[in-house]
Amino acid sequence: MSVSDNFKIGVSFHSFAHEYLSFIWSFDEMMEKAAQLGGGIEIVGPSHHRSFPFVTPEFERTFKSAVDRFGLTPVSYGSYADPFMLPDRNLSPDELYDYTVPQIEGAAKLGFEVVRLQHFASVIAERLVPLAEKLKIKMGYELHVPLMIESARTQELLKQIETIESEYLGVIPDAGIFARSVSSRHVQEGRDMGVPENIIKAALDLWSKSVLIDEAIEKITAMGGDKRAITWIGVIWDTFGYSNPDDLKSIMKYVKHFHGKFFHIVDGDEPDLRYEELVHALMRYDYRGWVVSEYEGNTDDSFAIVQAHQDMIKRYMASFKG
């Protein structure tokens, strides 16, 4: 069987949240760091530029200047549907469309190859595809927990992608769907939020049995779990999924981009996500796009942990080639 190592490694600026939000690094400094972390970049719209959902001419200019100076590749722009931004109701499809169009136009202006869509955008996908085709920017639904490969919702999205049949619409799997366990930090966050120990234990038990979120919420509510417990469960079920990396085979033709989500690196490995199998699956099924490191955590040194993540991926690439 022929094997490819043609996928490229880059970094999502979400990884640098600590330094960025604590005013240790400016946006320009993150661009500089990215050049040493593979050179492919992903930015998060409402985190990394003002005037979201619009891209200002000023940001376009300064962004492109930094791309040139540091020799970067703008890989992916994280757009948002934000359907719950109004307190009394969800956004209508027309409102979603008006909110999404400037984000896609902005991403294209900045030179990105891919724009991440949330699955909420599926109701307007048919209207967005002609725009994406015109601007030559690929759109991908992020497959982020609870959207695992086998989830009913994911299957609906795949069906739509198959029907629309445009190379400008596909998916962006997030490594968080390939978890083997809930990280100890996320358990501690539940404690810090004031979720009682018996509720935490029950919730972890439900997670390990692959119980769906609605059923988990129902069971935890019946045990007396309050609004905080439900919010914590929402986070857990929105962070850790139980897809099998091997199932990437069935969707590989639709994969436009890949989020290398990770929470910890311990002894050179991600303890809660199945990276070895994941890297091997990406190679076995000949993925040719980018994997961007997407660190989610509170380290004091995001650069070092992203480097460790990328070293891990390279090590698994090498081990696959044997």
Q: Contact positions toward other proteins, by CB under 8 A?
A: 14, 17-19, 21-24, 44-47, 50-52, 80-88, 118-119, 144-147, 193, 213, 227-228, 230-231, 234-235, 237-238
Smallest gap from residue 81 Cβ to other proteins (A): 7
Residue with tokens 């972890």: 204
Residue with tokens 């022929």: 2
Which CB sits closer to other proteins, 89 or 136? 89
Nearer to other proteins, 60 or 95 (CB): 95
DSSP string, 101-137: HHHHHHHHHTT-SEEEE-GGGGGGHHHHHHHHHHHT-
- 307: exposed, middle or buried (Cβ count in 10 Å: 0-12, 13-18, 19+): middle
Which single residue is written with the structure tokens 């930090």? 185
| CA 17/CA 23 separation, integer angstroms | 10
* Cross-strand pairs, 170: 140
Nearer to other proteins, 293 or 317 (CB): 293
How far is residue 25's CA from residue 30's CA, in Å, rounded to a whole number?
Answer: 7
Chain-centroid distance, C-alpha 311: 20
Helix then strand then coil, in percent of the chain rounded to 5, is 50, 15, 35
Shortest distance, position 288 Cβ to other proteins, whole Å: 27
Name the CA dihedral angle for 113, 119, 124, 125, rounded to a multiple of 10 degrees: 50
Q: CB-wise, 145 or 161, nearer to other proteins?
A: 145
What SS3 class is residue 44?
strand
- Min CB(120)–other proteins separation in Å: 8
CB of 98 to other proteins, least distance (A): 12
Q: Give whichever of 8 and 18 is closer to other proteins, judged by the CB atom.
A: 18
22 SS3 class: coil
Nearer to other proteins, 147 or 200 (CB): 147
Minimum separation from the CB atom of position 258 to other proteins (A): 17
Q: Which is nearer to other proteins, 107 or 313 (CB)?
A: 107
User: Closest separation between CB of residue 300 and other proteins, Å?
Assistant: 8
CB of 161 to other proteins, least distance (A): 17
Which of 262, 272, 75, 268 shows the shortest CA–CA distance to 174? Answer: 262
